[in-house]
Amino acid sequence: GQNIDQPTEMTATEGAIVQINCTYQTSGFNGLFWYQQHAGEAPTFLSYNVLDGLEEKGRFSSFLSRSKGYSYLLLKELQMKDSASYLCAVRDQNTGRRALTFGSGTRLQVQP
């Protein structure tokens, strides 16, 4: 199975940069996803990494190191609307699953 760890909560200031880390342990890594979830709403896809390196998408970037079992999501120019939970999710081909296993999420609070 997978163990996925993320910080529970983070606080940052509007306009700043924040990095949310995720570590995982899996036997057949086949991709890591980041989702944003506002309270009571559906998770919204942010990014996908399967190879090592940085994927940039506007104000959001995601990094992956497979050898370290480590990823981070970088949010730049923070806005108040970025206050949400950020979920790291892993897909493991060895379990035969295309389903995702989610971490517990990081609740980000953006302050003025």
Partner 1 sequence: AAGVIQSPRHLIKEKRETATLKCYPIPRHDTVYWYQQGPGQDPQFLISFYEKMQSDKGSIPDRFSAQQFSDYHSELNMSSLELGDSALYFCASSPGRGGRTDTQYFGPGTRLTVL
Please give the residue ranges that form the binding site for partner 1 (CB under 8 A).
31, 33, 35, 40-45, 48, 50, 87, 96-105
Coil, strand or helix at 81: helix
Integer-rounded Cα Rg, in Å, for the chain is 14
CB of 94 to partner 1, least distance (A): 13
CB of 39 to partner 1, least distance (A): 10
Q: Which CB, 6 or 75, lies closer to partner 1?
A: 6
Q: Which CB, 16 or 99, lies closer to partner 1?
A: 99
Count how many residues are written for the chain. 112
Q: ∠93-85-6 over CA atoms, to 5°?
A: 55
